[in-house]
A and B are shown apart, each in its own frame.
Chain A
């Protein structure tokens, strides 16, 4: 995904003279092409993310469209106050990109995990929160983010993530509108980010047992596609939210808040798949970490199956 980001932001910068790229001393060689295309509009801001975010807001307040890029914890928790005050309070159109989000960098340890970012970013007034599931969604949402009048946060994966929806026309992707990855009758899996590939795997395992699953990519966590939620929660007996994020406060939390606000009626039961309320102290790959938190296809399928058979 990060290569897709570098490629797309370079294309966008070639078209739009307002786009400025700020990097927190990462992406060695990743942005060489960008620097050729827009030499005056790339700044390596060093290992100093608080300043980088403030600089981005200053650029945005001067008519430019900055995008801030570094590893997710450093572009979110590290400089949270600058996001809150400099970007959000000023409604400054800063695009914040967190790379290697969720458990992408599992083996680097909890300093490099991001399992809280959706929770803390979506609470900020005026912030739009995006989590594309593949590079098709990433490229389109990034393009749209530069036409959005306010701050945007986008968490992306690392590299090698598969394209999950080859048939989808990029023109049908809109901020705030979920994308249906497949239809089904018995359960709806709501996903955000590249973890969608595990949900697709789960749907295939469920299909073998005669259970068909709908999958919705909620690439926009805020604003929530409430119309879609309303239809889903009325139609299905069970909704399972899958995210590479803490079960506290992320997409599952946002949907649970929405559900609690609805008038009484017949609403789907809800399952929430995400990481536990802990730091992961043992070493492991992303695959290992996902398995630990029940975020793999077989684990998701198993739990969904168990609930439907109750």
Chain B
């Protein structure tokens, strides 16, 4: 059975996506300031990947968020939740105004994604790293059993690749030739307290995924055209699951945040928000 929702067509232009990404970055920064939510650097590094997925790749419909044949996306790096929440609001899963309650007691917008029962558009609650890929593999195997043609995408951070469960999952996905499963690695070269390469000897990351039996791609994770092109290629005909290593910059889009790991936890001041928005070309 094929999915009823089609991919966004060529009318969805790359320049539009770039403007949307800048606007979303501004909202995420404002939100971080207002609600004192950390992980800003991690959110900014994956905004373009999320925009490429939600506005250029995923066959999903906010009107029918539980359609059995929909594509699935799991934010395995759950600390990027603020970015996802803004993207889902922009996509229309819930009114943008609901985001005003971000971080309020009794609300649903915490620092990590809640369960699908508590927020439309969410496929899995994450926050503890190394869970999204196994969950996604289960969803992809379910698609095979049901004979649906949906794809499952999981976004992982490079630090997350420290987790053994990621590699357990990589091996089973390859053994089962789950070609409708893709991981995107938000490869920003940092984890919470240091360079990801120094903490756990990650290199050669793309080779690792290839050695684990995956079809691999290495792209600029801020190049929306390249992202949409590669993400839409799943399944790629290799008969293998697809790993997309997306080179990114932590804190992308704001000069004083880029590649500065202090922004894993730092909260921007009001002045910094103003400067950031100016740099992003987003009106006050």
* Interface residues in chain A, defined as those with a beta carbon under 8 Å from any beta carbon in chain B: 20, 40-41, 43, 45-46, 48, 50-64, 66, 81-82, 85-86, 89-91
Once the chains bind, are B128 and A85 in contact (CB under 8 Å)?
Answer: yes
Residues of B within 8 A of A82 (CB): 131, 134, 165
Once the chains bind, are A20 and B145 in contact (CB under 8 Å)?
Answer: yes
Give the nearest-CB partner of B114 in chain A: A89
Once the chains bind, are A51 and B165 in contact (CB under 8 Å)?
Answer: yes
Partner of A55, one of B115, B145, B172: B172
A16–chain B nearest beta-carbon distance, Å: 13
Residues of B within 8 A of A85 (CB): 125, 127-128, 131
Residues of A within 8 A of B116 (CB): 61, 90
Partner of B165, one of A50, A57, A63, A90: A50
What is the CA–CA distance of A90 and B140 in the complex, to the nearest angstrom?
18
Q: List 23 A-B contacts (CB under 8 A).
A: A40-B145, A43-B172, A45-B172, A46-B175, A48-B168, A50-B164, A50-B168, A51-B168, A54-B134, A54-B138, A55-B138, A55-B141, A58-B138, A59-B138, A59-B142, A62-B139, A62-B146, A64-B142, A86-B124, A86-B131, A86-B134, A91-B115, A91-B117
Chain B interface secondary structure, helix, strand, loop or mixed? helix
Residues of B within 8 A of A50 (CB): 130, 134, 164-165, 168
Residues of B within 8 A of A43 (CB): 141, 172, 176
User: Beyond A48-B171, A61-B116, is A54–B137 a contact (Cβ under 8 Å)?
Assistant: yes
A50-B165, A86-B135 known; 10 other A-B pairs, CB under 8 Å?
Answer: A48-B168, A54-B134, A58-B140, A58-B141, A59-B138, A61-B124, A63-B142, A66-B138, A86-B131, A89-B115
Residues of A within 8 A of B143 (CB): 62
What is the CA–CA distance of A43 and B144 in the complex, to the nearest angstrom?
13
Considering the complex of A and B, which 6 residue pairs feature the smallest CB-CB distances, nearest first? A58-B138, A54-B134, A62-B142, A48-B168, A51-B168, A55-B138
Interface residues of B in 103-120 (CB under 8 A from A): 115-117
Once the chains bind, are B134 and A46 in contact (CB under 8 Å)?
Answer: no
A45–chain B nearest beta-carbon distance, Å: 6
Residues of B within 8 A of A20 (CB): 141, 145
- B123 proximal to A (CB < 8 A): yes
B124–chain A nearest beta-carbon distance, Å: 7
Scoring B123, B130, B136, B139 by chain A CB atoms within 10 A of each residue's CB, the highest score goes to B139
What is the CA–CA distance of A47 and B140 in the complex, to the nearest angstrom?
20
Residues of A within 8 A of B281 (CB): none
A57–chain B nearest beta-carbon distance, Å: 6
- B169 proximal to A (CB < 8 A): yes
What is the CA–CA distance of A41 and B138 in the complex, to the nearest angstrom?
12
A209–chain B nearest beta-carbon distance, Å: 55
- B92 proximal to A (CB < 8 A): no
- B68 proximal to A (CB < 8 A): yes
What is the CA–CA distance of A50 and B164 in the complex, to the nearest angstrom?
9
Residues of A within 8 A of B142 (CB): 58-59, 62-64
Interface residues of B in 152-196 (CB under 8 A from A): 164-165, 168-169, 171-172, 175-176
Residues of B within 8 A of A56 (CB): 138
What is the CA–CA distance of A41 and B146 in the complex, to the nearest angstrom?
10
Partner of B134, one of A41, A53, A89: A53
Residues of B within 8 A of A53 (CB): 134
A47–chain B nearest beta-carbon distance, Å: 9
B168–chain A nearest beta-carbon distance, Å: 4
Residues of A within 8 A of B136 (CB): 58
What is the CA–CA distance of A66 and B116 in the complex, to the nearest angstrom?
19
What is the CA–CA distance of A231 and B190 in the complex, to the nearest angstrom?
61
What is the CA–CA distance of A126 and B262 in the complex, to the nearest angstrom?
39
User: Beyond A51-B168, A64-B145, is A90–B134 a contact (Cβ under 8 Å)?
Assistant: no
What is the CA–CA distance of A54 and B133 in the complex, to the nearest angstrom?
8
What is the CA–CA distance of A40 and B144 in the complex, to the nearest angstrom?
9
Give the nearest-CB partner of A89 in chain B: B125
Residues of A within 8 A of B140 (CB): 58
Once the chains bind, are B139 and A41 in contact (CB under 8 Å)?
Answer: no
What is the CA–CA distance of A57 and B134 in the complex, to the nearest angstrom?
9
Give the nearest-CB partner of A64 in chain B: B142
Once the chains bind, are B68 and A55 in contact (CB under 8 Å)?
Answer: no
What is the CA–CA distance of A150 and B146 in the complex, to the nearest angstrom?
21
Once the chains bind, are B115 and A90 in contact (CB under 8 Å)?
Answer: yes
Once the chains bind, are A51 and B125 in contact (CB under 8 Å)?
Answer: no
Once the chains bind, are A58 and B145 in contact (CB under 8 Å)?
Answer: no
Residues of B within 8 A of A89 (CB): 115, 125
User: Beyond A46-B171, A90-B116, is A59–B124 a contact (Cβ under 8 Å)?
Assistant: no
B109–chain A nearest beta-carbon distance, Å: 17
A223–chain B nearest beta-carbon distance, Å: 21
What is the CA–CA distance of A61 and B126 in the complex, to the nearest angstrom?
14
Residues of B within 8 A of A48 (CB): 165, 168-169, 171-172
Once the chains bind, are B68 and A63 in contact (CB under 8 Å)?
Answer: yes
Once the chains bind, are A41 and B145 in contact (CB under 8 Å)?
Answer: yes
What is the CA–CA distance of A50 and B128 in the complex, to the nearest angstrom?
13
Residues of B within 8 A of A55 (CB): 134-135, 137-138, 141, 169, 172
What is the CA–CA distance of A114 and B127 in the complex, to the nearest angstrom?
29
B175–chain A nearest beta-carbon distance, Å: 8
Partner of B125, one of A63, A66, A90: A90
